[in-house]
Chain A
Amino acid sequence: MTSMERRAFLKCGACALVALAGPPRFLVRTAAAAAAKGKVLVAVFQRGAVDGLSMVMPYGDPGYAAARSSIALQPPKAGEQDRAVDLDGFFALHPGLAPLVPLWENRSLAVVHACGSPDTTRSHFDAQDYMESGTPGVKSTPDGWLARAAKALPATPAPFRAVAMGPTLPRALQGDAGAVAMQSIERFDVRAADQTAGRGFESLYAQGVRDLLSGTGRETFEAVKMLKAANAARIAPANGAAYPRGPFGEAMKQIARLIKANVGLEVAFADMQGWDTHVGQGAEQGRLALRLRDFGGALAAFAQDLGDRMADVVVLTMSEFGRTVAENGNRGTDHGHATAMLALGGPVRGGRVYGRWPGLARAGLFEARDLPVTTDFRTLFTEVATRHLGVAPTTLFPGWTAAAPPLGLFG
């Protein structure tokens, strides 16, 4: 059996397990969940491997500018607009992320640099798979790490405990946490003039067969009812928050609404495409800058929208790997190794760049070309899930125990 077949086999094994797990997972709904105002983790995946070196630029390292003759950012300079923003005298934030600077200043934004996977694959598909399953090098893991985190939470399961914004359920939330995938709150309903059709469909999926389809169908109708009861469709952005147009801004807006609707959301997931900058990456302006502007704008709007509620929320960003230290022949960067990840929210001890900086001297690079990983992504994810959500660490990353001490992201 090839590993791909094995993976597929085990995945379906997991589906069967899900199916046989018994009664619908949403035992308790509206009332109990609505009362809770718990902690929320929002995971954001930058798909395509973001260039961590230009997202959070190590301007204090001479290797950065030396390796990038046409796409290096200018170092920060006080009073100059449209340039990278100094963080700590060594690192600077890409100017596209300028909307996040107030969060850095009020110490609710932290950076973890040179973070990534111990697995050395440069395949987007495999590396995303490993980061979402949480098991680098092991493809047969049936479920995702966020699904395991959600399932391990002590609170009573609610339909919207785990939600992915988007048309499909990401690998990170596959498993038996009963995660919901949705594109928007408005469209999350059976759209018919009266309730006959909805009830008819509900009966069709309520029948005895226990498989992926019917199980999902049952969960769907539970979720629809709850969302209606919470009147979530009426909730608008608050505090003057303006989300950038586009799918990522929309996804963050929808997640904020679910949080404000108090439907028991504990784990949310959103992703953003377009980070695979092989060609014409740009510096202060250009392709990467445009993506970062959307990214930073949406995260900042989210924090503003939630206001005081950010005291209970942590946003964690991730990407499957980083990009080559040196630019390639097309003013872009190829697939690399470590990247930078962000954690933001009230509970985060922000205003600091975490992780050991390995330096960009060629001799110290991974395979003489890439930023080496000094923080295993699981160290970061574990810290967020245990300290913020209160998940027991043992269930998160099977077969792995942290060798390194925690980063100290939480007070």
Chain B
Amino acid sequence: MRRLALALALLGALVGGGAVATSVGAGTDGAAPRPAPAPRDDDRAILHALSRLSFGPRPGDLERVRALGLRAWIERQLRPETIDDTATERALADLASLRMSIPEALRAYPRPDPRMREKLQSGQLTRQDMLEMYPPEKRPARITAELQAAKVLRAVTGERQLHEVMVDFWFNHFNVFASKGDVRWYVAAYERDAIRPRALGKFPDLVRATARHPAMLFYLDNWLSAREDFVVAAGPNRGRRAGLNENYARELMELHTLGVDGGYTQRDVREVARAFTGWSIERPQAVGRFVFRPAMHDTGEKVVLGQRLRVLGGADDGERVLDILTHHPSTARFVATKLARRFVADTPPSALVERVAATYTRTDGDVKAMLRTIVEAPEFWSEDAYRAKVKTPLEFVASAARALSASVDARGAFELARASAEVGQPLYQAEPPTGYRDTAEAWVNTGALLARMNFALALVSGRYASVGVDLGPLVAGADRRQPAAVLDRLLAALVVQPTPETRAVLAEQLSNPRITRLTTDDRGPADTDVARLAALVIGSPEFQRR
């Protein structure tokens, strides 16, 4: 009852752009008439939306969304093409590999000469020689490093926040490990060409685009999978027998579409693998694009989830399998569960999952439509969902930089990407096809919490040389000799609503002489160490949640 009332009030707020009465978070008695709206309640809804649909609020975001109206802001975020983001684009210009085609990347970052290592070990070559002949910025690892920096840059400074959230979400859903073999040359193109244009599009299109992309074909080995009795006809492996590889077929069903309990069998895994035989990569080290190799393809009859594929379907066999899988009710439920887990709670309410799944079925997996179902759901705005999610390391690092209005360029983004790794999430480095987990217990542990606190300290004290943090403007207007006023100003600027307990602890810190420096005659505080206070806020339990 109460949740419904809250939701209705909130929908009112959405329609009215914050001017209409709302009572989120107020009162506990569902039957009693709602008390008059307090503006703070509107703000809480805006903060909630900012924390879920973006990488966290920046100073001033609250006011901006309030002025625009929450619903209008959400709608705008759902249409990223209408949002100007030239500043971010300009910063990204320093990262050249992002714009390269796969053949260009293969040429610009050549595979290291395997003899180099031997020569290095035998002393024929000094480390210095090698660095000169083969500088780090020319190595394939550079592509991943630039992609990591780009993710951080877009998360921190990008205006198309929801789009970036979804790019990150779908990359993780269709995870590839950037350090597996040739994936290192394909990974940037994979995100740019397969994921990014479809992040707010149709789910079946994402499945199709990833299925054909060389990054996925390589990562899950499908490019090598062939009919059982295939013998290589030419090239260095001439005469070698090849055969079926189940890797992609299994993960396609388990992790991309149906989910592990989605109702497929080992026999289906074999049949799907047979359907995808011949889906391969043309000259992986020179061209790196999708090719169908009829000679590798298994032309026999195939039955997938009880449906017989058209005989002699060739390359269409795979397409037909993707059709069957993306139109399966298990896929609707699996995708709905993952979205609801990202946006609502680690254990998403099953009624909400069912509604999002119904939207999937009705709209052929339209991502925008599913996101609308979520943000219009009472469950999204419920008290249970508020701050229910623990930030992933990327979300934590990005939200901290955003809260402090840090100025981040490409070089700063490299540093913050390393910070994300230190907190437990090295970007694009999830080796298993499951990607990174999206639940609290994956990220909350002693070592990771220490790393988060250390990141907070390092960030405010300027230890990331290329990340500009200027705390002065954040507390501008507050009298530094009035510690409590500085704290209030800081909390408002960082858009953190602390619990009373946290507020009390922070206030207590104000009596610490290292935080509040006393005047020489000991007659009261002369200045407040804003950096230390800010570090405590960023490292606080509240800031670990979104």
Q: List residues of A whose CB falls within 8 A of some B CB.
A: 1-5, 8-9, 11-12, 15, 47-48, 69-70, 121-126, 164, 167-169, 174, 179-183, 187-192, 194, 196-197, 200-201, 203-205, 207-209, 211-214, 216-217, 219-220, 223-224, 273-274, 276, 278-279, 328-332, 334-335, 367
Contacts and interface: CB of A to CB of B under 8 A. Distances in A.
Contact of B224 (A2, A223, A279): A279
Contacts of B259: 2, 4
Nearest to A14: B441
B192 interface: no
Contact of A197 (B260, B390, B457): B457
Interface residues on B, range: 35 or more
A179 B446 CA distance: 9
A30 B544 CA distance: 29
Nearest to B509: A200
B250 A197 contact: no
Given A168-B443, A194-B514, A329 B244 contact: yes
B221 A204 contact: no
A220 B446 contact: yes
Interface in B133-189: none
Contacts of B449: 205, 213, 216-217, 220
Contact of B243 (A187, A217, A329): A329
A323 to B, nearest CB: 11
B501 interface: yes
B271 interface: no
Nearest first, the 3 A-B pairs at minimum CB distance are A329-B243, A181-B445, A167-B424
Interface of B: 221, 224-226, 228, 230, 240-247, 250, 254-255, 259-261, 266, 269, 333, 337, 341, 346-348, 350, 353, 390, 423-425, 431-434, 439-451, 453-454, 457-458, 499, 501-502, 504-506, 508-509, 512, 514-515, 532, 535-536, 539-541, 544-545
A204 B502 contact: yes
B221 A278 contact: yes
Contacts of B347: 5, 8-9, 11-12
A188 B450 contact: yes
A330 B444 contact: no
A141 to B, nearest CB: 13
Given A8-B346, A125-B434, A330-B245, 14 more contacts: A11-B439, A121-B260, A124-B434, A183-B451, A200-B509, A200-B536, A201-B539, A203-B508, A204-B506, A274-B431, A328-B246, A329-B228, A330-B224, A335-B246
Contacts of A197: 453, 457, 532, 535-536
A213 B446 CA distance: 9
A223 B449 CA distance: 12
Contact of B445 (A11, A192, A216): A216
Contacts of A4: 259-261, 337
A329 B224 contact: yes
Contacts of A223: 446
Contacts of A15: 440-441
A192 B441 contact: no
Contacts of B512: 196, 200
Contacts of A200: 505, 509, 512, 515, 532, 536
Most buried by B among A182, A200, A223: A200
Most buried by B among A47, A48, A332, A334: A334
A189 B450 contact: yes
21 contacts: A2-B259, A69-B241, A167-B425, A168-B442, A196-B515, A200-B515, A204-B502, A204-B536, A204-B539, A204-B540, A207-B499, A207-B541, A212-B444, A213-B449, A217-B541, A220-B446, A329-B228, A329-B243, A330-B224, A330-B245, A334-B247
